[in-house]
Structure 1
């Protein structure tokens, strides 16, 4: 399987963001990708006052990426968007995955919400406006088991162990808008840890650059193999990078170092 991770700088113009995402998907398809992954909040990352109204699973957001998947004949992981939530005060932070025919193949709602207070630096309480999702999600993409997650989920290894063991995941996907001040120290370390401890490939697609109001995302989208080796990494700009996933290597690693099979808890 060839996987593409798309790195985007979404701002406060939804139509421009969707057009930019569509152009990145075109580039991924031209590079031969079987699966292309977009970042968290791919359609809008800006002031809350301009945030688009939350949509159902068959709204404009879904229609756009379903059409792209169908047109390109490629699996598309559409990052995430604000889905209509359980009550008027809360949305879901939701990922949609479309198959080559543009059919919705999986829906994942972010479980772990980013509630962080660092005096003088960061004040962000995602749970004020977003409800947590109810359950982990895996799906099969061209014979490969894929486990879904979103951004802050990355800090919770128990989720990924469940995806790998109960869900049988071989590839873990992480769309993100990881903050610069944490990303520069933690992003790659956490991604490689999730790959090593679960003996899975990891594909992480990130937002990059400045986003009003006063938010800067780290970028460095990457694909990592089950040994923790970085197979591909995006430079510090908008773009696409691809990597081929060697499933025979995954099998060899799990056979020669059977840590998943040896676990006791």
Structure 2
């Protein structure tokens, strides 16, 4: 078994303060024994409105913010997953990138968001360059448990999670900045549990809280049971992920073995 945590916060436009807030939550989670801490999407920088600031404040993966995440991972002996806006060679755009920082001080995996949030009145694609659908899913291992990465709006596209499961993932780390709105919290909880149930995996979903996000961070097990959860405020929720539990659930519900269709990019 591996102890993990989801850390919920409300990042803003001060990147140094965001890193300091993340540091406090990572320290608290590691103090509870967490070997992996999942922080939200856009943990590096968030503004009330998505505009050119997201590209202007972007950093390379060897920049100050990711270097700070790597330092936190080393200091606490825990993997840290967080969303950053990464520089890309596209004028006026950034990449919405997840970084998994390892205790070794190296980046264990990266993921660049594939499905941009062009819905519910938002157009993320105006300022964000999407990831490459042809890129193979990246996974990383923590104490024998395999983790995969995806971001926020991706959760509405079940084939993304299935590709990660096909690549060997036992746990989906899902940072998000889930925008509040009518029925949005219900959508979030339903979709997170659905991805866990249909793939018989754990999902560790870490969201931003108010004012930008709807909160409701949670860890869900392969049967759809909520192991730990948060409400609307800043905080940490922790729980165990167990390969034995995955095997037990798959023994009862061998849906992956019984499926008759695969997944491939369009």
Who is 1:229 aligned against? 225
1:49 is displaced (CA, Å) by 5.9
Q: Is the 8 A contact 1:86 1:131 kept in 2?
A: no
More strand by share: 1
What's 1:53 paired with?
A: 57
For 1:166-205, list aligned pairs within 5 A. 167-181=167-181, 182-205=183-206
Which secondary structure does the structure 1 equivalent of 2:34 belong to? coil
State the match for 1:264 in structure 2.
260
- What's the counterpart of residue 143 of structure 1? 144
Structure 1, unaligned runs of 5 or more: 211-215
Mapping for residues 82-161 of structure 1, pairs under 5 Å? 82-116=85-119, 118=120, 123-134=121-132, 135=135, 136-161=137-162
| 1:209 match | 210
Q: Deviations over 1:57-79 (max 9, x none)?
A: 111111100000001111111x2
2:210 is paired with a residue whose SS is: strand
- How far the C-alpha of 1:140 sits from its partner, in A, is 1.8
Deviation at 1:112, TM superposition (A): 0.6
What is residue 213 of structure 1 aligned with on the other side?
none
Contact 1:9 1:238 (C-alpha < 8 Å) held by counterparts: yes
Q: 1:35, 1:156 → 2: CA distance?
A: 25
Output the CA distance in 1 between the equivalents of 2:59 and 2:44: 12
Kept after mapping to 2: 8 A contact 1:3/1:34: yes
**Conservation of the 8 A alpha-carbon contact between 1:178 and 1:219:** yes
Query: Which structure 2 residue ranges, 5 or more long, are not aligned?
Result: 262-266
CA distance, structure 1, for counterparts of residue 145 and residue 89 of structure 2: 32
User: How high is the TM-score relative to the length of structure 2?
Assistant: 0.91
Task: Tell me how large the CA RMSD over aligned residues is.
Answer: 1.3
How far 1:50 moved relative to its partner?
Answer: 5.0
Contact preservation (8 Å) 2:52, 2:127? no
Per the alignment, in what secondary structure is the counterpart of residue 218 of structure 1? Answer: coil
* In structure 1, C-alpha distance between the alignment counterparts of 2:111 and 2:53, rounded to whole Å: 24
Question: What is the aligned partner in structure 1 of residue 264 from structure 2?
Answer: none
User: Could you list the per-position Cα deviations for residues 60-105 of structure 1 after superposition, in whole angstroms to 9, with x for gaps in the alignment?
Assistant: 111100000001111111x211111131222110011111222111
Matched residue SS, 2:26: helix
Q: Quick check: 1:242 aligned with 2:245?
A: no
Q: Is the 8 A contact 1:94 1:108 kept in 2?
A: yes
- Which secondary structure does the structure 2 equivalent of 1:242 belong to? strand
Question: Distance in 2 between the 1:170 and 1:16 partners?
Answer: 33
Q: Does 1:253 align with 2:257?
A: no
Partner of 1:68: 72
